[in-house]
Amino acid sequence: MSETEESEGPIIRLKDVTIGYDPEDPLVDIPEMEVFPGEIVAIAGPSGIGKTTLLRTIAGLVSPISGSIEVCGGAPSSPPKRGELGYVPQKLGLVRHASVLHNVMIGANAGNKAPWALLPSSLARSKALEAISSMGLVDKIGEPVRRLSGGQQRRVATARALAQSPKLIMADEFLSELDEETMQMVLGSVIDYVRSSGSALLVVEHDISRAKSMADRLLVIDDGRINPFITEITAVEVKV
Ligand SMILES: Nc1ncnc2c1ncn2[C@@H]1O[C@H](COP(=O)(O)OP(=O)(O)OP(=O)(O)O)[C@@H](O)[C@H]1O
Ligand SMILES: [Mg+2]
C-alpha cells in the first residue's frame, strides 16, 4: 500500500466485531466502526458496559470474540508497532517510583521509528520535554509519579502518549480529576496534536456534554451495541 492510500484509509476499522471476555456472555456488538485521520471520536455509555474493553481490544491487549479489526491498515498488535498507538489507559500504567521525565521518556523512545541504536537520545529527550511542557508539568519533571495527584498522574500518562507522536491516540477518561482550566489546557494540547498531525483520537468520556463539545462524532454504547444511528452529534439528543 502506498503512503497516500494509507493516509486516506481509516486508522481504525471494525467490522462485525463482538467484544468481551467470555463468548457465552459477550459485552458489546459493533457491526461497523471506522475512525479516519484527523478525526476525534468519543465513546460514551454506562459504567461497566465495555468501553475500556473496546479500547483494550483495539489496542490488541484483549482478543475480540469475533469479527475483524484493523488498526493503521493491519491487525492490532501487542505491543503496538512503534509510533502507531499512544494509549492513555483508565488505570494509567505508570512506573510509580520513577520520575515524570522517566515515564514520558518511555513513550518518546517507543515512538521513535528508527532502531534504538541509531537514535540520538537528545531527540527522545526533547520530545519528552515538549510533551511534559504541553501538559503543564515542567515543575514536576523530576518528581516520582507516586507523589503526584491523580490529575497530575493522568497528565503524565497523556504526555507519555503524545511523546510517541502516534498515528492514533486512545484515551480512557483522560480528563477526569482535572479542574476546568487544566482540562482545557490538556484537551487543547491533544486536539492540536491530532489536527496538526492528521492522527486520530478515540476517547472514552462519561461526561456527555464534554464528549459532544470535543468530538466530531459520538458513539454511544447502549445495551451492548454501538448504535450506528447515534453517530452524528448534531443529529441526536442523548439522555444525560
Ligand atoms: N480482565 C477481565 N476479565 C473478565 N471480565 C472483565 C475484565 N475486565 C473487565 N471485565 C468486565 O467487563 C465488563 C466491562 O468492563 P469495562 O472496564 O470495559 O467497562 P467500562 O464501560 O469501561 O466501565 P467504566 O465506565 O466503569 O470504566 C465489566 O463487567 C467488568 O467486570
Ligand atoms: Mg472504563
Report the C-alpha gap between 99 and 144 in whole angstroms. Answer: 4
User: How large a percentage of the chain has pLDDT more than 70?
Assistant: 85
Q: Is 99 in the pocket of ligand 1 (CB under 6 A)?
A: no
Q: What is the mean pLDDT of residues 27-53?
A: 93
Helix (H) or strand (E) holding 68: strand 66-71
Residues 86-142: tens digit of each pLDDT: 999 999 999 999 999 999 999 998 866 655 545 567 888 999 999 999 999 999 999
Q: What is the pTM of this model?
A: 0.89
Q: Is 22 in the pocket of ligand 1 (CB under 6 A)?
A: no
**Does 53 have pLDDT greater than 80?**
yes
| Per-residue pLDDT band at 202 (split at 50, 70, 90) | very high
1-84+167-240: CATH architecture: 3-Layer(aba) Sandwich (3.40)
Q: Which three cell numbers stand for residue 34?
A: 471506522
Q: Taking the domains of the chain in order of start, what are their residue ranges?
A: 1-84+167-240, 94-165
- Name the residue at shortest CA distance from atom 1 of ligand 1: 21
pLDDT at res. 78: 63
- Name the residue at shortest CA distance from atom 5 of ligand 1: 21
Q: Is 197 in the pocket of ligand 1 (CB under 6 A)?
A: no
Cβ atoms of 67 and 30 closer than 8 Å: yes
Q: What is the mean pLDDT of the chain?
A: 86
Q: How far is the CA of 133 from the centre of ligand 1 (A)?
A: 33
Single out the residue of 63, 5, 13 nearest to residue 34, CA to CA: 13
Q: How far is the CA of 71 from the centre of ligand 1 (A)?
A: 22
pLDDT at res. 212: 87
185 exposure class (CB count in 10 Å sphere: 0-12, 13-18, 19+): middle
Pocket-testing residue among 28, 52, 88, 206, ligand 1, by greatest number of atoms within 8 A of Cβ:
52
Q: How far is the CA of 86 from the centre of ligand 1 (A)?
A: 21
Residues 54-86: tens digit of each pLDDT: 999 999 999 999 999 999 887 777 666 667 899
